[in-house]
Amino acid sequence: MSPIFNSIGSNYDFNFSLKALGQIFAPDSDKNLEILKFFLEKEFEGQAFLFYKGRNAIEFALKNLNLPKNSLVATQAFTCYSIEEAIKKTGLKLIYFDLKAKSLNPDFKNIKKIYKKNPQIKAIILQNSLGFANEIEKIYQWSRQNKIILILDLAQSYGIKTANLKNLADIFILSFGRDKILDAITGGACILKKFDNKLDLIQNQVAFRQRLKDLTYPFVCFLIRKTYPIYLGKILHFLVKKTGFETNPIYNPVKKIAPLPSQYVNLIFRQLKNLDQSLKHRQKISKLYYQNLKNISLINQTDIENGVNLRFPIWVEDIEKVLSSLKAAQIYLADRWYRKAIDCGKINCQTDYRQGTCPNAEKLSQHILNLPTHQEIDETKAIKIINVISKLENNK
């Protein structure tokens, strides 16, 4: 059996890799961009804007709000640094709220408590970690009562089963970045219910060199995965990391807001076309994990039915021991979300998060393990993962 990975381009098959290569020298197409914008505007009933990075979309959306300088933006701990980066670039300050104990999503009571202490909170960015829905409707109704802008970040949860979703936020954020549900290598979008036409839309262009790196990435990843058993993949993986060809997803190659180049649009539509099939597969694998690892699962059957199952989360006491045992079986799951309350990956970042502020998120980051549900995971591979973990659990 071939090695098992959490990422390394596992959302890309050979055909996707070839399609990406074919976009390298494709001409710019305003028509493709307009078609994608039209699709998103119809789905979410707002005005859509497309960007090179998801964090660009967050930055743009916040700038559009034109909030007072002393305003706070609240978001959950147990997230990646890119959200904080986007907020900081607007000049606004942020505050983190905690999760429920042993849960992926925030405690609504805690959100209300933090707002009571910090009434200068004017916007909340709400996520659905690993593709599992939180109390969106309750939080939206409360935010409306308190005149707080609700920004719903669907980066990990595009396709969740929530009734009337398009009417449960003021702003929607999408990501087309690596390892997301709609993984088109990179990209982001925001859909605004209200748009300030006075906002300066002057943006930077993405350099051809960066596009070249992006669009060859799926094929390089495909080669790494397929040649890993004969060690060639290990060598290639080492080289792409050493040369900087493979960068951390949290690293931002554009310093200012940049629009989405049209060369990525066909890749986004390909993932949209395959979305139903992909979600059914992820749900099937998640159900298999749940049946066998129910006692350490961080989600339940309802979560699986209503979520998009980006990854399957379990709670383990000794994370390093489990990762080591998995690695010995050629199962590489060290790339887990998230390893800290605010995860900077392998880059150096100066987060404003204060240790001890969100204890539940901190504890979760020390114990969570994400099991893969992507297209490369069939039932045989899932059972192999289950067997390694079950053996460790039974020997405790």
- Tell which of 143, 169, 192 closes a domain: 192
Task: Clarify whether residues 176 and 301 are in a common domain.
Answer: no
Q: Name the residue type at position 304.
A: I
Structure tokens at 207: 């350099």
Q: Could you tell me if residue 85 is inside a domain?
A: yes
Q: N- to C-terminal Cα distance for the chain?
A: 28
pLDDT band at 200 (very low <50, low <70, confident <90, very high): low
Structure tokens at 100: 């429920």
Q: Could you tell me if residue 363 is inside a domain?
A: yes
Residue 265 has pLDDT above 90, yes or no: yes
Task: Clarify whether residues 169 and 301 are in a common domain.
Answer: no
Across the chain, what does the average pLDDT equal?
Answer: 94
pLDDT band at 199 (very low <50, low <70, confident <90, very high): low
Q: Please name which of 166, 184, 163, 165 lies closest in space to residue 175, comparing C-alpha atoms.
A: 184
pLDDT band at 182 (very low <50, low <70, confident <90, very high): very high
Q: How far apart are CA 57 and CA 174, in angstroms?
A: 8
Comparison of pLDDT for 347 and 40, the residue scoring more? 40
Q: Could you tell me if residue 365 is inside a domain?
A: yes
Domain encompassing residue 311:
274-394
Residue 29 has pLDDT above 80, yes or no: yes
Residue 95 has pLDDT above 70, yes or no: yes
Q: Could you tell me if residue 232 is inside a domain?
A: no
Task: Clarify whether residues 184 and 39 are in a common domain.
Answer: yes
Calculated CA dihedral for residues 188, 33, 179, 257, nearest 10 degrees: -30
Residue 115 has pLDDT above 90, yes or no: yes
- Tell which of 168, 192, 216 closes a domain: 192
pLDDT band at 251 (very low <50, low <70, confident <90, very high): confident
pLDDT band at 16 (very low <50, low <70, confident <90, very high): very high
Q: Could you tell me if residue 50 is inside a domain?
A: yes
CATH of residue 92's domain is: 3.40.640.10
Q: Could you tell me if residue 216 is inside a domain?
A: no
Neighbours of 164 (CB within 10 A): 9
pLDDT band at 195 (very low <50, low <70, confident <90, very high): confident
* Mean pLDDT, range 154-169, rounded to an integer: 96
Residue 202 has pLDDT above 70, yes or no: no
Q: How far apart are CA 31 and CA 174, in angstroms?
A: 20
Task: Clarify whether residues 47 and 167 are in a common domain.
Answer: yes
Q: How far apart are CA 165 and CA 162, in angstroms?
A: 6
Residue given tokens 């839309």 in the structure block? 201
Q: Could you tell me if residue 215 is inside a domain?
A: no
Percent of the chain with pLDDT over 90: 87
Note the pLDDT tens digit of each residue in 381-393.
999 999 999 999 9
Task: Clarify whether residues 37 and 167 are in a common domain.
Answer: yes
Comparison of pLDDT for 254 and 207, the residue scoring more? 207
| Number of structural domains the chain divides into | 2
pLDDT at 253: 81
Structure tokens at 40: 């998103």
> How open is the CA angle 340-345-347, to the nearest 5 degrees?
125
Assess contact for 11 and 217: CB atoms under 8 A.
no
pLDDT at 175: 98
CATH of residue 301's domain is: 3.90.1150.10
Q: How far apart are CA 193 and CA 34, in angstroms?
A: 18
The full length of the chain comes to 396
Task: Clarify whether residues 182 and 79 are in a common domain.
Answer: yes
pTM of the model: 0.96
